[in-house]
Amino acid sequence: MIPLKIAGSGIYRPKQSVPSSALDNRIGKDTGWTESKFGIKSRGVADRDETSSYMGAEAAKRALEKAGWNKTEPDVIVGACGVMEQPIPSTSVLIQHKLGLGKSGIPTFDVNLTCLSFLSAFDIVSMGIASGNWKKALIVSSDIASAGLDYSVPETASIFGDGAAAICVEAANDRDGPGILSRGFETYGDANHVATLRAGGTKIRVEEGYDALVKGSRFEMNAFEVFKAAGKCLPRLIDRVLE
């Protein structure tokens, strides 16, 4: 048992909300296709000035306010985005700067684990609290899926939106109160090909040309293979954690 509590949370929604009917037209589907298939009526789409770090900082401000924390109170700031804003420096550094904490020295780092980044960041923060390294932590998730969607693949392009969320986590003393009871993480690299975003690192390089960079910048996912891979492993993991 790791006693801790969520002291505050905050969200940021992009200024622009696009109805699914507009997306249906873009992906060549009949009006109502996205909503009937996925239950999605609209999604946020970030403007160019609404960067991952901007949205993350706005969500963080709201979380800090709800927690009643001064912005200098977090012992650590963790960026837990599905996709980073840029390789260097990390998104958490950019968020720290936008919070006006660029000279604070508060340690920051990113956890890059795609859709599971927040869960992994929360786990790392809980271990940092348990070890006594931190008493208060700020975790921020901010993503702009629209930047990398391939609209020629309707099943992928229709389900992702943009936005940000943040939470303030702090140590607690009550072992009968809120906390982490159990958790489990497993990785199966044999399925590394079923969801990819290949550009932005060292794999695809400038000398390979513009077309290669554009192709590598589009998110690719085989939804059925993702579901099948998870279906083989997830039930066993859930049983282990609950046990």
Looking at residue 124, its pLDDT comes to 97
Distance of CA 213 to the CA centre of its chain: 23
SS (H, E, C) 220-243: EECHHHHHHHHHHHHHHHHHHHHC
- pLDDT surpasses 90 at 175: no
pLDDT tier at 150, thresholds 50, 70, 90: very high
Q: What tens digit of pLDDT does each residue of 13-63 get?
A: 999 999 999 999 999 999 999 999 999 999 999 999 999 999 999 999 999
pTM metric for this prediction: 0.94
Paired strand residues for 2? 180
Strands 76-79, 108-110: pairing kind: parallel
Tell me if 78 sits within 8 A of 140, measured CB to CB.
yes
- Domains, the chain, ordered by start: 2-180 (3.40.47.10), 189-242 (no CATH)
**Of how many residues is the chain composed?**
243
Amino acid sitting at position 12 = Y
Placement of tokens 């931190």 in the chain:
134
- pLDDT surpasses 90 at 197: yes
Looking at residue 218, its pLDDT comes to 94
User: Mind giving me the DSSP string for 52-98?
Assistant: HHHHHHHHHHHHHHHHT--TT--SEEEE--SS-S-SSS-HHHHHHHH
**173: which residues sit within 8 A by CB, 6+ positions away?**
3
Q: What tens digit of pLDDT does each residue of 93-145 get?
A: 999 999 999 999 999 999 999 999 999 999 999 999 999 999 999 999 999 99
